[in-house]
Amino acid sequence: MPVTQDEHSDWNPVWSPDGRYLCCGSNRGDSMNSWRVPIDEATGRTLGPPEAITTGAGNTMFLKAAADGRTFAYVAKQDSRNLQRIPFDFDPIAGEPAGEPVPATRGRHFFTWPSPSPDGERIVATRRAGQEDLYLVNRDGSDRRQPTNDAAKDRGTSWSPDGEEITYYSHRSRGSYEYIWMMTLQ
């Protein structure tokens, strides 16, 4: 008998010590957290919707309950992928870049597919956090903007040669990545 029946990923089920809840990891709420579902012990049927146990703890996984029923232990994975820039110059004698990476963003972000503007002054990238939207930031980290903010997943950015437009692919049209989109920047 299914306990959950929706589009979310639910995994690592464990019973609460009192048998009243089935607990699991789930990506409900746009990040992997720990949830519990009330269960009727006699019939095994659910008594309500999933309830959050943890929120904002990062991606929680490997949930286990203590025998006293009052304590849970879990692993909280906090993955960050920030944008950095580095000079294009290369020191052939040392065999490494001629400069240290400089952060363009800081904090708990998950940026992918970065693309520097033709003049090197701005970076556009996809921020993946449940929803995938485009972010635009100056190379020094200032003036961060979000050109897309909707349910569509936007990825794979590239600049036009004049730096006035960006292209990306998205599943906004039919739920599949079959088109390339273009956006003029303000």
Q: Strands across the sheet with 51-52, in order? A: 10-15, 21-26, 33-38, 51-52
Could you tell me if 166 and 90 lie in one domain? yes
Domain range enclosing 174? 84-184
Could you tell me if 20 and 56 lie in one domain? yes
3-state secondary structure of 28: helix
The tens digit of pLDDT for each residue in 10-26 reads 888 888 888 889 888 88
CA-to-CA distance for 7 and 94, rounded, in angstroms?
51
The tens digit of pLDDT for each residue in 75-127 reads 777 777 888 877 667 777 877 777 778 888 888 788 888 999 999 899 999 98
Task: Indicate whether 5 belongs to any domain.
Answer: no
Query: Per residue, what are the HEC states of 51-112?
Result: EECCCCCCEEEEEEECCCCCCEEEEEECCCECCEECCCCEECCCCEECCCCEECCCCCCEEE
Could you tell me if 177 and 94 lie in one domain? yes
Task: Indicate whether 2 belongs to any domain.
Answer: no
Assign residue 148 the CATH number of its domain. Answer: 2.120.10.30
Could you tell me if 92 and 179 lie in one domain? yes
Rounded to an integer, the average pLDDT of 134-151 is 90
Could you tell me if 27 and 108 lie in one domain? no
Task: Indicate whether 1 belongs to any domain.
Answer: no
